[in-house]
Structure 1
Amino acid sequence: MTIPVNARAVMASRREPPTALDFFPPPPWATRALCELLRERGVPIGGQEVWDPACGEGHMVGPLQEEFWHAEGSDVFDYGRGYRVRDFLDPAGHAYRPDWIITNPPFSVSLEFALTALPLARVRVALLVRSAWLEGTERYERLFGPQPPSIVAMFSERVAMTRGRWDPGASSATSYSWVIWRTTANRGRKPEFTHLPPGTRARCMRPDDARIYGVQTDAPLLALAGA
């Protein structure tokens, strides 16, 4: 069962994951930018199901719930947010086949995430990845050659991610892109390349994002008590 992340601040009951899990929560505005892009292209999402199999604390599931009929989240680690704990790369128990799989995969197993997601999703797969992920012989031979994406959407603005939590004030030198596949073969077609233009961040931010998803600081009285 998916628990709405806007019920209370994400950081209120957080659990620290092992460093090896590459937990870098995406800013919620980056997911809204994907949904905006899909709406502009007339891609129907409102009546469909979506699964984020590396959901962490729900930074992506929350914005997906704003657009999709149902958004499911799971992760290999229990972050204390009520999402199912399961290893997406374990083939056992892959009975759930949503319309979409949308996620920010751990970089170290991002290729494996893509190869696992494509046979499972009924309609499309979208991965938020470093733009440099589009390079590489192995990814071309195993993924992009046999199953080219339909859309590659690069952020013109930086999508800042920090280990362990989303900090709205963070900066980054790393470029990110959405890579989107149709689950029906796109072989022989050239992917559409587009930019998510400047102004996307401001347009897709919400006033309460920092409260719901961002870094939580100690209350002044608690800070004084510990001094």
Structure 2
Amino acid sequence: MIGANHLAGARSNVSALDEYATPVYCTEALMRREKFDGEIWECACGSGIMLKVLEKYNPCVSSDILSYTDFLLEDYITDNIVTNPPYNLALQFAEQGLRASRKKVALFLRLNFLEGQKRYSFFKGSPLKTVYVFSKRQTYISKGNSQRPTRGSKASY
């Protein structure tokens, strides 16, 4: 895990954070389609469900605001970033991901992230290469449970 930097950062109220675990099959689907050369940083690792899958494919480091490491304030540089960021901070995670990675950034996000004027400016200058779309609606899962959904999603990923 990356060091516990920025212990009293701007977002130190972790109870209000947008934390939903990524189902194992979603991360497996990405890793079957996309190859990552070198280290992967899972920078919003939560309970570590996505991290456990990533570690089967690549060497990994991890961090999370819950362990007092604020990705948006870190200066660590890695080869790749793969994460499911809090949606309310998705643009900031995408921008920081490009600064913090030498090679690739893969974010698990709702499709509507591709919309909007603020994000238009980002995408205009972004090296976006590929968008993978799940044909079935994804479901959120309860903290610590990598298989059983707790509720269906109305959003497309």
- The correspondence for 1:149, drawn from 123, 128, 131, is 128
Q: Which runs of 5+ in 2 are unaligned?
A: 3-13
Show structure 1 runs of 5+ residues with no match. Answer: 3-16, 79-84, 177-227
Runs of 4+ residues over 4 Å off in structure 1: 162-167
Give the structure 2 partner of residue 48 of structure 1.
38
Alignment of 1:155-170 (within 5 A): 155-162=134-141, 164=143, 166=145, 168-170=148-150
Paired residues of 1:24 and 1:162 also in contact (CA < 8 A): yes
Q: Is 1:58 aligned with 2:41?
A: no
What letter matches 2:70 in structure 1?
A: D
Deviation at 1:159, TM superposition (A): 1.5
1:86 is paired with a residue of what secondary structure?
coil
Normalising by structure 2, report the TM-score.
0.84
Determine helix, strand or coil for the equivalent of 1:152: coil
Query: Residues 56-109 of structure 1, C-alpha deviation per residue, up to 9 Å, x if partnerless?
Result: 0101100000111x111100113xxxxxx311111xx51x31110011010111
| Residue 162 of structure 1, CA deviation | 4.3
SS of aligned partner of 1:89? helix
Letter of the 1:72 partner, please give it: V
What amino acid is the match of 1:24? Y
Using the TM superposition, give the Cα deviation of residue 169 of structure 1 relative to its aligned residue in structure 2, in angstroms. Answer: 3.8
* 2:69 is the alignment partner of 1:86: yes
For the residue of structure 2 that corresponds to 1:133, the secondary structure is helix
**TM-score if structure 1 supplies the norm length?**
0.59
Aligned-pair identity in percent equals 35
- Structure of greater Rg: 1
Count the aligned residue pairs. 144
Corresponding residue for 2:31? Answer: 35
